[in-house]
Amino acid sequence: MSAGLPGDSAVGEAVRPAGSGDRRAGPWGVAAVGFVVVLGVALRVHSPSALWLDEAISVNISGLPLREVPAALRRDGAPPLYALVLWGWERVVGTSTTEVRWLSSLLGVAALPAAALAGARLAGRSGAVAALLLLAASPFAAYYSTEARMYSLVILLVLCGFLALDGYLRRPGAVRGVLVGLTTAALALTHYWSLFLLAVVGGGLLASAWQARSRPPARAVGWMAAGGVLFLPWLPSFLYQVAHTGTPWGAPAGFTAVLSTVVVWAGGGSRPSTLVLTAVLLLLAGLGAAAVSASGSRVELDLRGRPPGRALALAVGATLALALAVGRFTGAAFDARYTSVVLPLFLLVAAVGVARLPRAIGTPVLAVAVVSGTASAVPDVYVEHKTQAAAVADALRAQALPGDVVVYCPDQLGPATSRLLPGSLRQEVYPTGGSPERVDWVDYAQRNVGADPEAYGRDLSARAGGSAVWLVFHTHYRTYEGQCEALAGTLTALRGDPLPLVEPDGRYFESAHLVGWAPLRAPGP
């Protein structure tokens, strides 16, 4: 969706410089576009990594009986739409790692034609091609299309929301209004950061209605509010989550996170391809928001911004600023994957920037963006693994015997590894001793602060008795400072020196130690 500003809904406005034309691409151009799209689809359909924490939690919640899913989500802190869609998907397609990720792959592929249609609305054929290619080669979009989480759904819904709102502002009507309301509700029920975008869009539409004395933007807000009625059944769970779950695993970010977010969108890290794509995207977004005309080596800018890119750029910037400000006030953590709610709008601004340029300049710049994006996306998807859980599980399957106890410290290491182990092992999490399949985020920090690793270790060793104890742990998790080390020390004092099997590997986003203690010896005569 885009914030409404006077004139910005006239997305049919020609954005190419006079005389540049919007000619059809030749056969080689069509072939090049097709190749990039095919490559973009290929980047979205497979990842060699095991499910990491968040994915495993999603799959485990969706594996519950339908009546139990809302209660599990209430303690998890997530909204319900993706979990419910995944619930149905698992029962039709399957629950293997590949099968559950295919849902996100399908949604990620579906976003490509939606981006092309949105780009066409904004800048004609040139905008359509640019939006399609920028999203197809986006490292961020490709990565989250291979993850069993809601982010590819968010990207698709934002594009659909933009199309629905633009269609309503062009030709107001009940059917288009209903589409605006449905996409509003779907976004709010998919990821809570969508609420920041919806607030910005609603505010922009009301400002536009007041300034231009125009009714359609105000009526669009009414349809958005009507769609919000569908959120009301979930409202009690949302308020409970706000009060009790939160994000105890991380800290809020400063406003410099806006710039670092663009780096993450470009693939993250310091690879040359990432740095090139970051620079190109910022350049194109600046042109899309403010360029008036371009010819030869000359570009004329209007610092007040120019439609249609101005409204999109304001929506992106205001949403990020609002989200970061609320995070600083409430202490909520920031993670770049949350910004999937504005990534498609940012790419649309960049697509407008491509269309602002003469073809002789815009085509090479777009080609640089596509090549550098693909160069970052390929290692992100096919080389870098999300979790070390598979290596830990392999070591346990080779060494552990039926009846052995596996304990996870913190509990956040449990969901990814436990699903890969046989049911003959007894598995639990520190400090609650509960099941490792999910994480109970309710009052999480307070619970962990009050934990006693020494007492837990003594009880664990006694309960394990003549079975070995295996500890999957890491020392760098918030709210567990020193506790996993203390637990390991207690087990060592009771059972002797441990056998180290796996050390944390920095190549993984989620890594862990694995150590084991031999069974207690039976007392002699």
Three-class SS state of 453: helix
Short-list 79, 341, 343, CA closest to 190: 79
Q: What is the DSSP string of 362-386?
A: HHHHHHHHHHHHHHHHHHHHHTS-S
Backbone angles phi, psi at 377, to 5 degrees: -70, -40
C-alpha pair distances (Å), 182 with each of 41, 129, 156, 172, 196: 27, 28, 13, 16, 17
Domain ranges of the chain: 28-244+257-297+314-382, 389-517
Q: How open is the CA angle 184-186-188, to the nearest 5 degrees? A: 70
* Tokens read off for 153: 């759904």
Is residue 62 within 8 A of residue 69, CB to CB? The reply is yes
Per-residue model confidence (pLDDT) at position 307: 87
Is residue 521 within 8 A of residue 482, CB to CB? The reply is no
Q: What is the DSSP string of 212-235?
A: HT-HHHHHHHHHHHHHHGGGGGGH
Backbone angles phi, psi at 502, to 5 degrees: -135, 135
End-to-end CA distance of the chain: 77
Short-list 149, 81, 483, 109, CA closest to 335: 149
Question: pLDDT tens string for the chain (525 positions)?
Answer: 654 443 354 333 333 333 344 556 678 889 999 999 999 999 999 889 999 999 999 999 999 999 999 999 999 999 999 999 999 999 999 999 999 999 999 999 999 999 999 999 999 999 999 999 999 999 999 999 999 999 999 999 999 999 999 999 999 999 999 999 999 999 999 999 999 999 999 999 999 999 888 899 999 999 999 999 999 999 999 999 999 998 888 878 888 888 889 999 999 888 999 999 999 999 999 999 998 877 666 778 878 878 899 999 999 999 999 999 999 888 888 899 999 999 999 999 999 999 999 988 999 999 999 999 999 999 988 877 899 999 999 999 999 999 999 999 999 999 999 999 999 999 999 999 999 999 999 999 999 999 999 999 999 999 999 999 999 999 989 999 999 999 999 999 999 999 999 999 988 999 999 999 999 876 555
Cα atoms in the Cβ-side hemisphere of radius 13 Å centred on 452: 6
Three-class SS state of 293: strand
Distance of CA 263 to the CA centre of its chain: 15
* Tokens read off for 244: 């009790």
Angle between helices 97-136 and 151-170 (to 10 degrees): 50
Most distant CA pair in the chain: distance in Å? 100
Per-residue model confidence (pLDDT) at position 360: 87
**Which residue type is seen at 93?**
V
pTM: 0.93
Per-residue model confidence (pLDDT) at position 523: 57
Residue bearing tokens 């596509």: 370
Backbone angles phi, psi at 425, to 5 degrees: -90, 145
E strand segments, 387-457: 405-409, 426-429
Is residue 135 within 8 A of residue 156, CB to CB? The reply is no
Short-list 187, 192, 129, 125, CA closest to 160: 187
Is residue 333 within 8 A of residue 249, CB to CB? The reply is yes
